[in-house]
A and B are shown apart, each in its own frame.
Chain A
Amino acid sequence: MADKKKEEQEEVQFTPSGTGIRTNGQVVRSTELPSPTRKKHKSLGLSEEDVVDMFELMYLQRRFEERAMQMYQKGKFGGFLHLYMGQEAISTGTAYALNDDDDIITAYRDHGWGLVRGVSPKAGMAELYGKVTGCSQGKGGSMHFANVKDHFWGGHGIVGGSIPLGGGIALANKYKQNGRVTASFLGDGAVDQGVLHETMNMSQNWNLPCIFAVENNGYAMGTAVHRHSVGELVDRAKGFDMKSAVINGMDVFTVYEKMKEVAEDVREHSNPWFLEIRTYRYRGHSMSDPMKYRTKDELREYEELDPIERIKGYLLDNDIIDEDKVEDIQDSVEDTVMEAIDFAEESDFPDKSHLYKDVFVEDDYPFHT
């Protein structure tokens, strides 16, 4: 009797096992990509020039991070470095779909978001280097890109922390009746923070003009989505009677199409939306991640769906530009990124007095000693 009880106890397992490492190599897939849109640029209301610009902007984000990674590995700067590579269709599609004065806020995987929202490659690279010429004056680093004048309210380092801030920005917009839409981005891991649910409830009840958009990239650090969250993420909306959709985040047209439709609905009806955008993170969580929790095959599969290769292919297949032009664009992006590195290296560190700058609004605050 006692033995039987013991046997039963040993079968107890709380968190489900993961992707391959403890399941005899079996991979339990985290996310299935919904189909991308079939529409071509014209029927989406995009000009040929727009599509070329989208490609350039996505390529810029990619090269910026590839070079940043090299500089990090050379020891040029410290801190965390969370790379956005693989997810660029989301930032780019969103930036094109929203008005320039619509508000965007996100978590710490924020380089791409900065670059699509007015953080120049120079100011971005300088921030990574902790230089005073950085977009946050070297005070925030990789996780805290921000450009508030262009309605980018920053990267934020505490998982879930930015979610209610997005709700609050939307509250202020509704209060001021200025017609602006807020897009509050979060990772799949942040879905598990209680604050998302508190914020969704209030947002729905108060009819806030806010889009809560999950960038579901399959993993929260080393934990696959199905190990940290039950059911489909998008279904979180049901309990709040919130409008919702799940979309393919590896295709910039799809993101653009849905974001535009959603933003128009939010603007017209002042109601929140919950979006699950499925994507994939190519690199480790941060720079010191051995990535044992996923298989190389899985990574390769998504790399073959690369959003940048996809739009490049579209440009070529539709004879919008030719190979030479693609190369010109890539070369000029490369130059821009290298100039940004030079700029960051040559820039000054913040002055010692900046240690106490911007703690408070006033500059004569009597600091405690």
Chain B
Amino acid sequence: MAELQFREAIRAAIDEEMQQDSTIFVMGEEVAEYDGAYKVTEGLLDKYGPKRMIDTPISELGFAGMGVGAAMNGLRPIVEFMTFNFAVLAADQILNHASKIRYMTGGQVKIPIVFRGPNASAGQLSATHSVSYDSMYAHFPGLKVIYTSEPEDAKGLLKSAIRDDNPVLFMESEQMYGLKGEVSDEEDFTIPIGKAKVKREGSDVTVVAHGKMYHVAKQAASQLEKEDVDIEILDPRTVKPLDIEAIVKSVKKTNRCVIVDEAHPFGGLAAEVGYLIQREAFDYLDAPVQRVTLPDTSAPFAKNLFDEWLPGANDVIEAVNTVTYRK
């Protein structure tokens, strides 16, 4: 085991894959000479040169689409967005093209591309820089969506994403890049796409949480432990395909479920998981499924409002109290 920062784990995944496959290249804003806006790609220009580490202009629609074209024509691009908030400008290429061309051409092409970068909010950056997009992309057939919470998951899943022959959206967080964690140093360590992980075993309530919200759930768990409430935390890691089997298995054990998601409430991951649980495990539920999400309003700048807006451990505790009828 090696202790790596989140950014180092991502870099290691890219580096290892680039080393063994010369069709892989990275492009995005400030990825090469600046060493990455968040230093994720630091040193890779020195190692792989300007052919494989390409700085792009601020032309999200253009370079995302050129990535798709290059993938159609035999390369394996890793396209970095400075954040997925800016990928909105590239949405046409991701949603109308990357996800659909193989289908529409009757399987004549494959599109092995990874779109990666930070997702959701990162402090007081106001409304346009704070949206969580994983559920939105998961809505569309033809895209795989990953949003990890810890360095080891990031490394293992990013390697799988790069090897995957389909378009994969791989999401990170500016606020987690410095986070350290044990990462397997097993040679060629990968984690399969579509597998959830129970990260804390517990018997009272299943808490489903991914990305940054996993850490919020973890905080809640340690406080709840003091009150003798033992929650199980399940991190889906992959949003699409969703490992609903693992979630149902856990809910059948605990009979209660809270979903924590840093997206707005309408039609998000929390809504989807809630629906699936009632379909697959209705008879096992001892309480209605609860969710903790962002409110149905955009991110405010003011610190006090922002703190109110972002889900925190207390919101999780409250939801756990609701499903356990402790209040």
Contact = CB atoms under 8 A, between A and B. Distances in A.
Interface of A: 9-10, 12-15, 17-18, 21-22, 77-80, 130-132, 136, 138-141, 143-144, 157-161, 189-190, 192-194, 220-223, 227-229, 292-293, 349-350, 352, 354-356, 359, 367-369
Given A14-B50, A78-B123, A140 B57 contact: no
B291 to A, nearest CB: 10
Given A78-B303, A157-B129, A368-B266, A223 B295 contact: no
B300 A13 contact: no
B302 A350 contact: yes
Contact of B303 (A15, A130, A157, A190): A130
Nearest to A18: B33
A359 B300 contact: no
A13 B51 contact: yes
A291 B308 CA distance: 35
Contacts of A356: 295, 297
A9 B52 CA distance: 11
A8 B295 CA distance: 55
A229 B86 contact: no
Nearest to A292: B34
Q: Which 3 A-B pairs rank lowest in CB-CB distance, beginning with the nearest? A: A141-B301, A192-B57, A130-B302
Given A138-B300, A221-B37, A158 B86 contact: yes
A15 B304 contact: no
Interface residues of B, number: 45
A76 to B, nearest CB: 11
Given A141-B301, A222-B34, A368-B265, A159 B126 contact: no
A140 B301 contact: yes
Contacts of A221: 29-30, 34, 37
Nearest to B266: A368
A190 B284 CA distance: 54
B219 interface: no
A9 B86 CA distance: 32
B89 A15 contact: no
Contacts of A138: 300-302, 305
Interface in B297-314: 297-298, 300-305, 308-309
Contacts of B49: 10, 13
Interface in B79-108: 85-86, 88-89
Nearest to B129: A157
B59 A192 contact: yes
B119 to A, nearest CB: 16
Nearest to A143: B126
A273 B296 CA distance: 41
B301 A17 contact: no
Nearest to B56: A15
A343 B126 CA distance: 22
A228 B57 contact: yes
24 contacts: A13-B49, A13-B51, A14-B51, A17-B50, A77-B124, A130-B301, A130-B302, A130-B305, A138-B300, A138-B305, A139-B127, A139-B301, A141-B126, A144-B126, A159-B58, A192-B58, A194-B59, A222-B33, A223-B30, A223-B34, A355-B305, A359-B298, A368-B266, A369-B295
B55 A227 contact: yes
Nearest to A220: B58
B54 interface: yes
The winner among B88, B128, B265 for most chain A CB atoms within 10 A is B128
Contacts of A158: 85-86, 88-89, 128
Given A141-B126, A157-B128, A369-B296, A354 B34 contact: no
B317 interface: no
Interface of B: 29-30, 32-34, 37, 45, 49-51, 54-62, 85-86, 88-89, 123-129, 264-266, 295-298, 300-305, 308-309
B298 A79 contact: no
A6 B59 CA distance: 30
Contacts of B301: 79, 130, 136, 138-141, 144
Contact of B54 (A15, A139, A349): A15
A230 to B, nearest CB: 10
Contacts of A229: 57
B270 to A, nearest CB: 12
B50 A13 contact: yes
Nearest to B27: A14
B50 A355 contact: no
A194 B62 contact: yes
Given A349-B304, A352-B308, A9 B51 contact: yes
A10 B48 CA distance: 10
A172 B57 CA distance: 31
A130 B124 contact: yes
A79 B50 contact: no
Contacts of B266: 368
A139 to B, nearest CB: 5
B62 A139 contact: no
A362 to B, nearest CB: 14
B54 A14 contact: yes
B126 A140 contact: yes
A356 B303 CA distance: 15
B300 A355 contact: yes
A193 B89 contact: yes
Contact of B124 (A14, A141, A159, A189): A141
A355 B124 contact: no
Nearest to B33: A18
A367 B302 contact: no
Contact of A355 (B34, B126, B297): B297
A229 B58 CA distance: 10
A360 to B, nearest CB: 10
Nearest to A230: B57
B33 A22 contact: yes
A17 B33 contact: yes
A194 B61 contact: yes
Given A158-B89, A352-B308, A367 B58 contact: no
Contacts of A10: 49, 51
Contact of A131 (B56, B123, B265, B302): B302
B57 A139 contact: no
The winner among A78, A141, A350, A356 for most chain B CB atoms within 10 A is A141
A61 to B, nearest CB: 21
